[in-house]
Amino acid sequence: MLNLSSLNLCRPPQLPSFVPLRPSLRPSTTIARNPIRVRCMANQRRVKMVAKQIMRELSDMLITDKVLQYAVLPEASLGADRYLSSLTTISDVEVSGDLQVVKVYVSVFGDERGKEVAIAGLKSKAKYVRSELGRRMKLRLTPEIRFIEDESLERGSRVIAILDRLKNEKSSDGQDKDQSESHNLSEEDGEWDKDDTDEGIIYIK
């Protein structure tokens, strides 16, 4: 009887569980250092519409939103001033072409400390304003809000006040000059009447 265990039979080699690939066959994992970003620019008409809507919403928030009111004027929480629309106004809104950034120009009428407090309060609530605009306008992507102080309106009001003052001064100077001229004429007429005497004049009939 043939004993199979005594025979040296060839067994197939066992393959490893993981076969390393050659370097040429390995997938490339290199990441580009400067990836190209493509920004889609919105239609110019849509950009203007979004800017107008944001300006309306922000103007309404300055009147109705307590969080924004207290940020602009902390004394309002104590009932110091309820009519903040006369103190802080939105003068202009600029929206970038890709609808990613919004520049809000704010005019603040008051002293220097009041301006600093109002602008700092608005900047601190930029994220809150962004979330509220997203909730109100229901945009697919709410842009970033940046508040910028605008001094053009205040400069314009100061220029108008200076022009009015100069106009009033000029009119008052003109009136004083007319009064002085009329007074001088009356004095000259009086002196002429005094000098006009009949002494030394012979009338021939």
Domain edges within the chain: 44-155
pTM: 0.55
70: Cβ contacts below 8 Å, ≥ 6 apart: 76, 77, 121
Condensed to tens digits (0 to 9), the pLDDT of residues 14-67 reads 655 655 555 555 555 555 566 555 556 668 888 899 999 999 999 999 889 989
More confident residue, 161 or 104: 104
136: Cβ contacts below 8 Å, ≥ 6 apart: 57
Joined tokens for residue 15: 């393959």
pLDDT at 8 over 80: no
Alpha carbon distance 52, 49 (integer Å): 5
Which region among 3-12, 79-88, 156-165 has the lowest average model confidence (pLDDT)? 3-12
For the chain, give the mean pLDDT.
74
Condensed to tens digits (0 to 9), the pLDDT of residues 154-166 reads 666 666 777 777 8
**Architecture of the structural domain at 44-155:** 2-Layer Sandwich (3.30)
Condensed to tens digits (0 to 9), the pLDDT of residues 173-195 reads 666 666 666 666 665 555 555 55
149 bridge partner residues = 106
